[in-house]
């Protein structure tokens, strides 16, 4: 079924990619990377433009996820999770939300999780968009640059190393983030 849905969006080219990237930010269970990789494989010279389309759709969809989380998230959470856990999660997201959103925007974890939770826990929409621009830009353009530089061979690299590479980048970004955050808090 995932292959059929991916193929459906690929049939519409960059418009299909834009739609899947937009919807991935708040509801769709298909990561846009499958469509991005498929389109970039077909035309590696257009891979940077393809990355830009995916990036734009994803960032534009983030506020929708945020709004849905804000409107529907707390009532649903309060029905399925004890109140003390919701309070604890809200506190933790307020404390570590920056790192969670930044790192989550380019890990294999679905981006919709972070856009929805940002709304649920009243995280700053401006920060969500800023970190979405950084993280999603990094992820989409990394794939675009690989195809632009290596052509169709980039698919082999991505098949073998995408998840490990993205998790490695996430670890590096997390370390840099926590280092920067500590330095910022130590300033008078």
Instruction: Check residue 85 and give its pLDDT.
Output: 66
State both tokens at 53: 């389309």
User: Rounded distance, CA 100 to CA 98, Å?
Assistant: 6
Token code pair at residue 94:
């307020």
Could you give the number of structural domains in the chain? Answer: 1
Is the pTM higher than 0.85? The answer reads no
Query: Phi, psi (5° rounding) for residue 26?
Result: -145, -15
Measured distance CA(43)–CA(78) in Å, rounded: 47
| pLDDT, tens only, 122-176 | 889 999 999 999 889 988 998 999 999 999 888 887 777 766 766 676 677 777 7
**Domain hosting residue 93, numbered range:** 1-185
**pLDDT tens across 45-104, in order?**
999 999 999 999 999 999 999 999 999 887 777 666 667 766 666 776 777 777 778 777
Instruction: Give Dmax over CA atoms of the chain in angstroms.
Output: 56
> What is the token pair recorded at 75?
């009532």
Query: Per the structure block, which two tokens stand in for 175?
Result: 């370390």
Q: What gap in Å lies between CA 87 and CA 114, rounded to an integer?
A: 17
pLDDT value for 80: 63
Polymer length in residues for the chain: 188
Of the spans 4-8, 19-23, 102-106, 119-123, which averages the highest pLDDT? 19-23
Location of structure tokens 């490990």: 164
Q: Assess contact for 86 and 74: CB atoms under 8 A.
A: yes
| Tens-digit pLDDT profile for residues 100-117 | 787 777 777 788 888 888
Query: Count of alpha carbons within 13 Å of 184, Cβ hemisphere only?
Result: 6
């Amino acid at each position: 079924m995932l292959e059929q849905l991916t193929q459906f969006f690929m049939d519409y080219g960059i418009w299909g990619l834009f739609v899947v990237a937009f919807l991935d930010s708040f509801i769709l269970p298909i990561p846009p990377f499958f469509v991005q990789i498929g389109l970039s494989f077909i035309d590696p010279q257009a891979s940077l433009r393809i990355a830009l389309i995916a990036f734009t759709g994803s960032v534009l969809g983030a506020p929708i996820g945020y709004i849905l989380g804000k409107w529907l998230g707390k009532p649903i959470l309060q029905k399925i999770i004890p109140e003390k856990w919701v309070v604890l999660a809200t506190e933790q997201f307020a404390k570590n939300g920056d790192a969670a959103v930044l790192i989550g925007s380019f890990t294999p974890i679905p981006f919709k999780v972070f856009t929805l939770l940002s709304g649920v826990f009243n995280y700053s929409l401006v920060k969500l968009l800023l970190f979405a621009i950084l993280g999603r830009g990094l992820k989409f353009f990394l794939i675009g640059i690989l195809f632009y530089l290596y052509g169709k061979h980039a698919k082999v690299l991505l098949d073998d190393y995408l998840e490990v590479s993205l998790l490695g980048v996430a670890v590096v970004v997390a370390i840099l983030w926590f280092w920067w955050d500590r330095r910022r808090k130590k300033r008078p």
